[in-house]
A and B are shown apart, each in its own frame.
Chain A
Amino acid sequence: GNSVTQMEGPVTLSEEAFLTINCTYTATGYPSLFWYVQYPGEGLQLLLKATKADDKGSNKGFEATYRKETTSFHLEKGSVQVSDSAVYFCALSASGNQFYFGTGTSLTVIP
């Protein structure tokens, strides 16, 4: 079946620190992989995605590479800002277009 395992939080970092949030998946077929961000009280915003192996998704300084050999899609950012404080969800979409989400990782960036 399809599932996503995501690094548990919460994660607290100082501004300008390096961020990594681990995500691994199991899937039948060839899924697309996504990172979504959820700010307090709001819905999900698509942060980045990758649709095939070795693709790198990137947006707003965040990036993640689709690694089929390790079934991973880790999220990274070189220098976080206070405004990056949010909950981050790793997700996959296989055939049928339904999504499977990780449990979410709460990130707090302190000045």
Chain B
Amino acid sequence: GAVVSQHPSRVICKSGTSVKIECRSLDFQATTMFWYRQFPKQSLMLMATSNEGSKATYEQGVEKDKFLINHASLTLSTLTVTSAHPEDSSFYICSGGPRAQYFGPGTRLLVL
């Protein structure tokens, strides 16, 4: 199957700082990738659809100015959590590949 990587795997930051999470497709080109968020002991919820060369599409209730998505190439999508706060602490996972069924290993964000 397709391989999706994420970096970093975990990050701890102070409240008010911005954090960038990278999602890379290692063996395929992705015009579309998806970003999900998973709170502890809960399911994954779609945040946004990342579109190569154009603006991301955000789900209802997700602040586009807070969660900046950039998809500048066919192998890289980035999610930047701007001015992070403790309530943004979560597990962020991206997906891509054929039918977007391949998920990255996730990035655990802890905002102090």
Contacts and interface: CB of A to CB of B under 8 A. Distances in A.
Interface string A73-111: 000000000000000010001001111111110000000
Interface string A20-37: 000000000000101010
Interface in A5-59: 32, 34, 36, 41-46, 49
Contacts of A46: 1, 101-103
A99 B101 CA distance: 8
Contacts of B46: 98-100
Nearest to A4: B43
Interface string B3-36: 0001000000000000000000000000010101
- Interface band, chain A: 20 to 34
Interface in B41-59: 41-46, 49
Given A98-B100, A99-B100, A42 B43 contact: no
A97 B44 contact: no
A93 B96 CA distance: 12
Nearest to A89: B43
Nearest to A32: B99
Contacts of B34: 97-99
Contacts of B93: 43-44
B101 A43 contact: no
Contacts of A41: 108
A46 B103 CA distance: 8
A42 B101 contact: no
Given A43-B93, A89-B44, A104-B43, A97 B32 contact: yes
Contact of B105 (A32, A42, A100, A102): A42
Interface of B: 1, 6, 32, 34, 36, 41-46, 49, 93, 95, 99-106, 108
